[in-house]
Structures are given as structure tokens and as C-alpha cells.
Amino acid sequence: MTQQYDPYENAVAERINGILKQEFGLGKTIVSLKLAQKMVKKAVKIYNSKRMHYSLEFKTPDFAHSNQNHNYRQYRKIPILVTQ
């Protein structure tokens, strides 16, 4: 997922992986590849179309994608100017 294999390098992807594991049971051992693929597909669909996100002002990613005129939260680091 990341160049340096550091979870802090790609925090957003790591957060999504955590949500998929915790909320959708994808962190457990799944007995077959076919079942795992079905579970992942269903989890991603729910995550994008039904699960409301705090950073999107409790909207879904599908809504945010189709209505890009809103200003949503951003988690970029803002450089701090140090004055002496």
C-alpha cells in the first residue's frame, strides 16, 4: 500500500482497512475465496452508498462524489510558520 511500508504514510487507506475489518468482519479468517470476494463487494457497497461519514458532514461517499460543490473536511497537514 505504501512505498515505505509505514502506516502513517497512508493514513486514509489504513483507516478504511480498519473500518472494513472492524465494522464488516473482514479481519477474521474467511473459509473460501468466493465468500471473501462476496463479503468485500458487499462491504464496499455499504461503505460507499449507505454508511454516513463524519468528515463528509454525515453524507455518504457516493453523495459527496456526485455533489462536489460542497466544502468537506480535509485532513492535510498545514505547515506551521515559526517566527523568532
**In sequence order, what DSSP letters do the residues of 26-80 get, joined into one string?**
TTS--S-HHHHHHHHHHHHHHHHHT--BGGGTSB-HHHHHH-TTS-----PPPPP
- What pLDDT does residue 6 have? 65
Residues in the chain, how many?
Answer: 84
The residue extents of the domains of the chain are: 7-66
- What pLDDT does residue 42 have? 92
Q: What pTM was estimated for this model as a whole? A: 0.63
Mean pLDDT (whole number) for 29-34? 91
Looking at residue 42, the DSSP 8-state letter turns out to be H
